[in-house]
Chains A and B, each alone.
Chain A
Amino acid sequence: MKKLMIFPVLCALSVPLAFSSLTARSFHPSVDSVMISTADHTKFDQLKQDFSSGPEVTEACLECHTEAAKQVHQTKHWHWEVLMKDGRMLGKQHVVNNFCISVEGNEPRCTSCHIGYGWKDRSFDFTSERNVDCLVCHDGTGTYKKYPSGAGHPAYTDTAFAGKPFPAVDLSYVAQNVANPNRHNCGICHFEGGGGDAVKHGDLDNSLIDPTAHIDVHMSAENDGLDMTCIDCHQTEGHQVPGSRYEPHARDVHGFDYPLPDDYPTTCSSCHGLEPHTNYAKLDDHVDKLACQTCHIPTIARQRPTKMWWDWSKAGELDEKGHKVTRRDSSGLPVYMSKKGEFEWATDAVPEYRWFNGEMNYVTFLTQIDDSGVVPINHPDGEPGDSLSRIWPFKVHRGKQPYDSEFKRFVKPKLFGPKGSGAYWSDFDWDRAIATGMEYADMEYSGSYDFVETEMYWPISHMVTPKEEALGCVDCHRRNGRLEKLSGFYLPGRDANRFVEILGLVVIAGSLAGVLVHGYLRFISYKRRSGEE
């Protein structure tokens, strides 16, 4: 009898086991701190001092990590420059963008996201080792924050920014609690690019600090999630953080290579391989033409609104007392600011899709632009036929920004600065702001400016959603679907040959009409014959 009982019990137990999916194991199982590092930084005498500035901390770091600053000096994080294959110098320092337009002339504000101290103007010494900011990336306490207009320095005394208190940082405490970069270290700049949380990228914002699986299936700790952090994919060696938007890789043809990825950052395929869809060969058939991101990141800015439109031409409106104006929508988002103009925002937005082979074409401040239409500040290269191109999702940020209407070139207005400096945010005079900015940059300005509509492409790679929420076939394989605007290839379900469709209609309607007429005539002749009889 006992034996008889065991069998159904075992069966009942095995049913949920057999049908429950295996739970994901955390990517970072908790281990003894000794296993993580051979050094406890609270025990170093060099760090037990009252530092009065960031560079002093760096000097202490460099006493042991003698080559660290030299490594940092070779990174994009340091010089904000990328030498492209065609010889052009791009990078944050040089490119045009349609958010705050240009770094040059506005350094102390922009460089609050620089991995250094004191880049307040063109005189910054890029060879200085003590000006490397170790803490912004290695702060393990979450208390280190650069002052927004401090040219990269944190607040050394209690102060305020934009009416809110900004406390001084305890440099000694931070220095003794350094760690490998965690998501808040990367996020403090990359989540807040463009001037605030979620503004710029669309796939990077502070919701990734503790996301639900719905927001990011890899970074979420929810339901025993993987809890991966930025550097698990952006695996860094010698301070070179891989993952460039200037030279991205649109297609990984090598597949599995984690934890020793190729010369570019870990791709989806580094872990998932080149045939990632278990028992669904037709989905794998898509891998050569669709980036994983296209289906698996169905929407951007999944939780927090990202900026989609920024019209600088509307800036400058002051109220009757001459004060700056801010208008907000019902959710509290600014839709108009005197300093910046008009904004539009989007949440959980459908990205735009383009063929992309990894080559991004950038307009620079020296490029002659065609101002008769919308000017793409950058645009992805690629076409259906070539072997590297895949369909990628992009956030396309659009707006209007000033340009030299005679030379047909973009300009670098000085935005940030005190009253009387010519800075637009203080003096509200575009002509003067442009003239000041261009003079500072040592560039020509004709004296006449106008505003032109621009668009800028941001490839989307983050906020991968759980597979259940990925796009389905019909999101693209339909008329007026997500890929409606991509041409040059046949997409089943969307495309048809007009001749064949008309012919089909003729065949079907013709045979229907034919049998109806034939049947009717048979009926008539039958009636007539029955009448005759």
Chain B
Amino acid sequence: MRKVYLYARFQRFWHWMQALIIFSLLVTGLEVHGLFHLLGYEAAFHVHNAFAWGLVLFILLAFFWYITTGDFRQYLTEGNLLEKIMMQARYYMVGIFKNEPHPFKKNEISRLNPLQRITYLMLTLVGLPLQIIVGFAYYYYNELVALGMDPDWIEPIAVIHTLLAYLLIGFVIMHVYMTTTGHTLTSNIKAMVTGWEEVEE
């Protein structure tokens, strides 16, 4: 066993801020959707809108950081991506139960396995931006209608926003569970707190 420094201070800060923001958005969003009563509709509505701006801000900040530091390379892959993803998937379906080693070793220049790369990349480049765009269209519905949008679009906008939120909850559940699949049950989470992760030799 050895320790590697995987997550820079900004990355950890960004990760936990994003976690807080997404969690708050999900809770307040579900309340606005009428599923339970916690803050009260109006308060939930205001918190949701404020955190939406927070999410935009942090995504832009992260883009800036990844581009200027060159760390975006962590998300790029070489060779047959599908094959690598299948290897990682096979590990979770089969290998993990047989105590097989992780198919991809973590180190300072490659901290993400291929499945993580594609998932986080799609989440950050497609999923969250789409949810943000739909959410802003929802909030600025009146302005968009004034600009010529069909007023009947309110329903598809709301429905898509809800659907993406449900998918995001699914992601969060699996993401949190996956943190236990490191070298030890807590090594991944510790790494996201301290930056240092215990990895297999």
A interface residues with partner B (beta carbon < 8 Å): 282, 285, 288, 385, 472-474, 477-479, 489-490, 492-497, 500-501, 503-504, 507-508, 510-512, 514-515, 518-519, 521-522, 525-526, 529
Contact = CB atoms under 8 A, between A and B. Distances in A.
Given A490-B155, A493-B34, 10 more contacts: A477-B32, A492-B33, A493-B33, A495-B158, A496-B159, A497-B163, A501-B162, A504-B163, A510-B170, A526-B99
A464 B177 CA distance: 54
Nearest to B166: A504
Contacts of A478: 34, 41
Contact of A515 (B32, B42, B177): B177
B180 interface: yes
Interface residues of B, number: 32
B57 to A, nearest CB: 20
B186 to A, nearest CB: 14
B99 to A, nearest CB: 6
Most buried by B among A479, A501, A511, A512: A511
Interface of B: 32-34, 40-42, 45, 92, 96-99, 138, 141-142, 151-152, 154-155, 158-159, 162-163, 165-167, 169-170, 173-174, 177, 180
A504 B162 contact: yes
B94 to A, nearest CB: 10
A473 B42 CA distance: 6
Contacts of A492: 32-33, 138, 158
Contact of B97 (A282, A508, A521): A521
Contacts of A504: 162-163, 165-166, 169
Given A385-B151, A472-B42, A493-B33, A522 B97 contact: yes
Given A473-B42, A529-B99, A508 B177 contact: no
Nearest to A281: B142
Contact of B96 (A489, A507, A514, A522): A522
Ranked nearest first, the 8 interchain pairs of A and B with the lowest CB-CB distance are A504-B166, A474-B41, A515-B177, A490-B155, A525-B97, A507-B170, A285-B142, A511-B173
Contacts of B40: 474
A274 to B, nearest CB: 13
Contacts of A474: 40-42
Nearest to A525: B97
Contact of A493 (B41, B151, B154): B41
A531 B99 CA distance: 14
A387 to B, nearest CB: 10
Given A473-B42, A521-B97, A522-B96, A515 B166 contact: no
Contacts of B141: 285
Given A511-B170, A515-B174, A525-B98, A500 B41 contact: no
B162 A493 contact: no
12 contacts: A282-B45, A288-B142, A473-B42, A477-B32, A490-B158, A492-B32, A492-B158, A514-B174, A519-B180, A521-B97, A525-B98, A526-B99
A508 B170 contact: yes
Nearest to B145: A288
Contacts of A522: 96-97
A217 B154 CA distance: 35
B33 A500 contact: no
Contact of A500 (B45, B92, B97, B166): B166
B159 to A, nearest CB: 4
B159 A500 contact: yes
A496 B141 CA distance: 18
A284 to B, nearest CB: 8
B173 A515 contact: yes
B107 to A, nearest CB: 25
Contact of B41 (A473, A508, A514, A519): A473
Contact of B45 (A473, A519, A525): A473
A496 to B, nearest CB: 7
Contacts of B180: 519
A69 B196 CA distance: 95
B47 to A, nearest CB: 13
Contact of B33 (A288, A385, A496, A511): A496
A473 B45 CA distance: 9
A493 B42 CA distance: 11
A328 to B, nearest CB: 41
A519 B170 contact: no
Nearest to A475: B41
Contact of A477 (B34, B155, B177): B34
A500 B162 contact: yes
Contacts of B142: 285, 288
Contact of A508 (B34, B99, B163, B166): B166
Contacts of A518: 92, 177
Nearest to B160: A500
Given A472-B41, A490-B155, A525-B98, A496 B173 contact: no
A473 B48 CA distance: 14
Contacts of A519: 177, 180
A517 to B, nearest CB: 11
Nearest to A477: B41
Contacts of A385: 151-152
Contacts of B98: 525
A62 B152 CA distance: 59
B29 to A, nearest CB: 11
Contacts of A497: 155, 159, 162-163
A500 B163 contact: yes
A491 B25 CA distance: 20
A226 to B, nearest CB: 27
Nearest to B30: A504
Nearest to A384: B151
B11 to A, nearest CB: 24
Contact of B163 (A288, A495, A503, A510): A503
Given A285-B141, A472-B41, A472-B42, A503 B166 contact: yes
Nearest to B93: A518
